[in-house]
Structure 1
Amino acid sequence: MNAGDWKGRPLGTRTVSYDETRPILYALAVGAHATDLDLVFEERLRVLPTFALTLAQWAPDALGSAGAFDVRTAVHGTQRLRVLAPLPRSGAVEMSAHVSDVWDKGRAAVFDVTVTSEYFEATWSLFAPGSGGFGGERGPSARPRPDGAPDLSLPVRTDPDQAALYRLLGDRHHMHIDPDAAKAAGMPRPFMHGLCTLAAVTLPLAAAAGAHPADLRELEARFASPVFPGDELAVDAWKAGDATAFEAAVDGTTVLSAGQATFTAG
């Protein structure tokens, strides 16, 4: 099969069960504090919508395991999330997944894996070097950086132990914890999960928008460069109607680009 032949391929269904421990662990892993009782105390718990991405991680992994691309070189390019209903504090979430698009970037292909449930729709865009050149469409361009100075700038400091904590949610790839595995992947040391970094940024963005982070309704961003545990992100944000456009950088290097988050009152 060439890369284009994977478009439309179903990746199956899966039901994932959890109790209140997992969304609390998730909130702590992405930067919530013990004082954020409605994120970390089961009696008041509101589940962060980005927790859904840990429940659905099986889908992009399933595509790699099926042989669509070389899992050693493919990278997570972009993530999108649309919230349909609040996730329960505990229970079971049934999901289905398919390859919604495959884009031809010339020397690489981008596979879009979409997971749907009654609570959310999420799409992983996976950049696969060496899989392009099959004659397909190039796909949409990334959202450009907004014109003008940002409306606000926010510091977001990651924790040195954050990747070790986040991997307990299911993404156990060794490069996030093992120095030897990180070096084999071309990194000087273990690095943050992109989805952890992205979720961490939504907490201060919600506060700046006067919203609760559980009021997130739509989220999108491109993973531009790695973040290492302990790094401090400089987040720039621009109001764009009901949405907030954002970028994040570490020491002047962009790590999240083409970001956009939308919150609504809960």
Structure 2
Amino acid sequence: MTAVQQKSTGLEQSETAPSSWRGADLGTRTVAYTERDAILYALAVGAKATDLDLVMEDRLRVLPTFALTLAQWAPDALGSQGAWDTTTALHGSQELTVLAPLPRSGEIALSARVGEVWDKGAAAVFEIVVESEYFVATWSIFAPGFGGFGGERGPSKPAGPSGDPALTTDLVTAENQTALYRLLGDMHHIHIDPAAAAVIGQPRPIMHGLCTLAAGTLPLARELGVHPADLTRLSGRFAAPAFPGDTLPIRGWRSESGVDFEVGGAITGAHAEFGA
């Protein structure tokens, strides 16, 4: 799991029971972006200068995972309302379903709500769902100390794939990858400042979990012989931190609907599907 990427707002923690947040409306927001933002995102998750349809305006295809940066305001909004302790909460997993290709630039209306709130005993798990005409994205936030409220435990962690992987490749991260990715809005110091990383027990700044997950889809797509912009579904669990400059092995197991995969020890239980 990775630390939830938000700063403490200074608000006192809410006395509201975690279960009362289930179904809460987090409002709507219209987000705007330019072709330059989409290109910066592609570079930040590992696109090469030769990937012209990811980094050149004239033929630009926007990576579907760019949607996750546009929707990051929703889990931040819930945390700022005191649903969990923003200093200890962890981003446990992420899902993305693509409904239509993102335009090269423009404005997108997003609506957000709280989905289920599960009681894991020692912690609560909050699902935050963001919907638009282009995608549905679901964050799962693990909140230590907020469990034990008598709710349902929710689904168990799925069993990992068995047998030898059908494909193997590597995710080669860049030394400056987090410095680029943070320019897309997640400015948490643990991704750039060694002193901040040390506070959470890390030897140096760590990769953004969403960056690692998205970056893994590029070499995965190349290995499958598909285009990363044809991604239609993605999910994964954040199991451990990764560091910029690391080379992370990717292992994949083909399934009926796509490919199950893992990225080193950082991303586990992941699944991706690509369209034509």
* TM-score (ref. length: structure 1): 0.97
> Which of residues 253, 259, 265 is equivalent to 2:270?
259
> Which of residues 106, 120, 130 is equivalent to 1:115?
130
Give 1:26 deviation, angstroms: 0.2
Cα deviation, 1:191-238, whole Å, max 9, x if unaligned, reads: 000000001100111122221100000000000000011111011100
Cα deviation, 1:118-149, whole Å, max 9, x if unaligned, reads: 00000000000000000111111223211110
Report the counterpart of residue 95 of structure 2 in structure 1: 80
Aligned mates of 2:225, 2:257 — CA distance in 1:
12
Aligned mates of 2:145, 2:176 — CA distance in 1:
34
Give 1:247 deviation, angstroms: 1.0
Q: How many residues align?
A: 261
Report the counterpart of residue 175 of structure 2 in structure 1: 160
Report the counterpart of residue 192 of structure 1 in structure 2: 207
Cα deviation, 1:21-73, whole Å, max 9, x if unaligned, reads: 00000000000011000000000000000000000000000011000000000
> Which of residues 235, 239, 252 is equivalent to 2:254?
239
Q: Which amino acid aligns with 2:148?
A: G
Report the counterpart of residue 204 of structure 1 in structure 2: 219
Aligned mates of 2:34, 2:162 — CA distance in 1:
44
Aligned mates of 1:190, 1:157 — CA distance in 2:
17
Structure 1: gaps (5+ residues): none
Report the counterpart of residue 141 of structure 2 in structure 1: 126
Give 1:181 deviation, angstroms: 1.3
* TM-score (ref. length: structure 2): 0.93
Give 1:113 deviation, angstroms: 0.3
Aligned mates of 2:166, 2:78 — CA distance in 1:
39
Q: Percent identity between the aligned chains?
A: 63
Give 1:104 deviation, angstroms: 0.5
Aligned mates of 1:2, 1:184 — CA distance in 2:
29
Report the counterpart of residue 225 of structure 1 in structure 2: 240
Structure 2: gaps (5+ residues): 1-15
Give the alignment's Cα RMSD to 1 decimal: 0.8
Aligned mates of 2:190, 2:89 — CA distance in 1:
14
4+ runs of 1 displaced by more than 4 Å?
A: none
Q: Which amino acid aligns with 2:179?
A: A
